[in-house]
Amino acid sequence: MALNVKEVFTQEKKPVIQFEEETYNFGQIRQGEKITHIYKFKNIGQQTLVIKDIEIPCDCTEVVASKKKILPNELGEIMVSFDSTEKRDEITTLITIYLNDPDTPMVTLTIAGEVIPEVNIIPRVLNFGRVTQNKDISKKLRIAFNSQHPLKVTEIIPSSKFITSRILKITKKETIVQVTLNKNAPEGRFSEYITITTNSSLTPTTTVLIVADILSNKDIQREK
């Protein structure tokens, strides 16, 4: 008697991987923290499952498989360690597992979350918008510290003589800085920056972009 297609399929012996989860969100962590998560899986097929290769996106991630060959009905684990030292803000890291499973030759594991930087400057781009010459314009920057160690601003260096800054307020958790665009700045599109230096070992320097559209008095009169 001839077997139908369904019967042939059910008799085929092959490895089949099944993960409990493929995505893990660690929520929020401080910059510099390290986290570890274990992805558990099972070979629900009828042949030995083989992990051929594991691909990681960067040096910030380490991956260890409990074993490279998993027998039928046997459990396995993929341990992922993530180092947030050089990361900040929202992150998504993908780990690619290559297998001998004919139906699922590749599985992508995802680890995601938010890294709170040790030094967080708000905003990262200081936009003065449309301004006129012959008038000083000032805006404020907030430098927030997220560390168990005392941090402070050690230096603020502008890239242009038309930018000045002064510290308005200092607390354990933040420093407020006033940035001023000088009235003698040339007309046209203005794009410079300030470099903020702190005693943080993780974020010793941060650059803040300063932009503006500077109009001359003639431009204002034409617009009127």
How far apart are the C-alpha atoms of 115 and 118, rounded to whole Å?
9
How far apart are the C-alpha atoms of 177 and 189, rounded to whole Å?
23
- For the stretch 82-104, pLDDT in tens is 999 888 889 999 999 999 999 99
How far apart are the C-alpha atoms of 132 and 155, rounded to whole Å?
29
> Any idea which residue has 């990681």 for tokens?
56
Q: Pairing mode, if any, of strands 23-30 and 106-116?
A: parallel
pLDDT of residue 47: 94
pLDDT-based confidence at residue 181 (cuts at 50, 70, 90)? very high
Full-model pTM: 0.69
Q: Given a cut of 50, is residue 165 above it in pLDDT?
A: yes
Cα distances (angstroms) measured from residue 135 to each of 62, 125, 131: 54, 21, 8
- For the stretch 193-215, pLDDT in tens is 999 999 988 889 999 999 999 98
The share of the chain scoring above pLDDT 70, in percent, equals 92
Question: What CATH number was assigned to the domain covering residues 11-116?
Answer: 2.60.40.10
Q: Which CATH number fits domain 119-223: 3.30.160.620, 2.60.40.10, 3.30.1340.30, 3.10.580.10?
A: 2.60.40.10
pLDDT, average across residues 107-129: 93
* 11-116 and 119-223 in the same fold: yes
Q: Given a cut of 80, is residue 217 above it in pLDDT?
A: no
How far apart are the C-alpha atoms of 82 and 54, rounded to whole Å?
15
- Enumerate the domain spans of the chain: 11-116, 119-223
